[in-house]
Amino acid sequence: MATTNDIKNGAVLNLDGQLWNVVEFQHVKPGKGGAFVRTKMKNVMTGKVVDKTFNAGTKVDFANVDRREYQYLYAEADGYVFMDTTDYDQINIPATVVGDAKNFMLENQNVQVALHDGTPLYIELPASVVLEVTYTEPGLQGDRSTGGTKPATVETGYEIQVPLFLETGTKVKVDTRDGSYLGRVND
């Protein structure tokens, strides 16, 4: 049995039969009183985020989560099909588990899938991906200096905000955590 001193970002805890992913943690040792661990955790199934504080040294149950590399193959009506890159087994992951990751996944892209007892829990994408802008209003001469933004649709069908000077067909780097524009990518 592990203790709260072993908590790290990305760890999955089993609390009262539910799985919680540790998003943030902080060990606090106040001048008075005992030390404690302040955490922000996300429920793996529902996506609900809660703040929870544990006394230092309290025993906690870590869930056995296997993170494996899978290749995204294609979308189906009821979910998404991924292939294990080591043994080529294919699995269908429901759309509810994939969640917002669908906005940044291209076919044949490799992602990390977290599994608990063979059940997919969530998908981990790289911090950023390169996507091509498939549609945006044409840029106007002189739009480079204003710092304004306009909507643009990328090849996954997701809409992001980009600088006014970007054109259709431009490859852009997008943050997978919040969908923000990070920069233009030159081939």
Return the pLDDT at 3.
87
E-strand ranges in 29-138 read 36-43, 49-55, 59-60, 66-76, 79-84, 90-94, 110-116, 119-124, 128-136
In this structure, which CATH number among 2.30.30.30, 3.10.20.30, 3.90.180.10, 2.40.400.10 belongs to the domain 2-60?
2.30.30.30
Query: 45 Cβ partners below 8 Å, 6+ apart?
Result: 18, 19, 121
Joined together, the tokens standing for residue 93 give: 């992951």
In this structure, which CATH number among 3.30.460.80, 2.40.50.140, 3.50.50.60, 3.30.70.20 belongs to the domain 66-124?
2.40.50.140
In this structure, which CATH number among 2.40.50.140, 1.20.58.100, 3.30.1490.190, 2.40.110.20 belongs to the domain 128-185?
2.40.50.140
* pLDDT tens-place string over residues 111-164: 999 898 888 888 888 889 999 999 998 866 665 656 788 899 999 999 999 988
d(CA 129, CA 92): 23
**What is the percent of the chain with per-residue pLDDT over 70, rounded to a whole number?**
94
| Same CATH fold assignment for domains 66-124 and 128-185 | yes
* pLDDT tens-place string over residues 60-79: 999 888 889 999 999 998 89
In a 10 Å sphere around its CB, with 0-12 CB exposed, 13-18 middle and 19+ buried, how is residue 132 labelled? middle
Q: Across residues 10-27, what is the average pLDDT?
A: 89
Domain boundaries, the chain: 2-60, 66-124, 128-185
Q: Which residue has the tokens 């643009």?
A: 152
CA separation (Å) from 93 to 78, 86, 101, 107?
8, 18, 12, 14
Question: What are the two backbone dihedrals, phi and then psi, of residue 186, each rounded to the nearest 5 degrees?
Answer: -95, 130
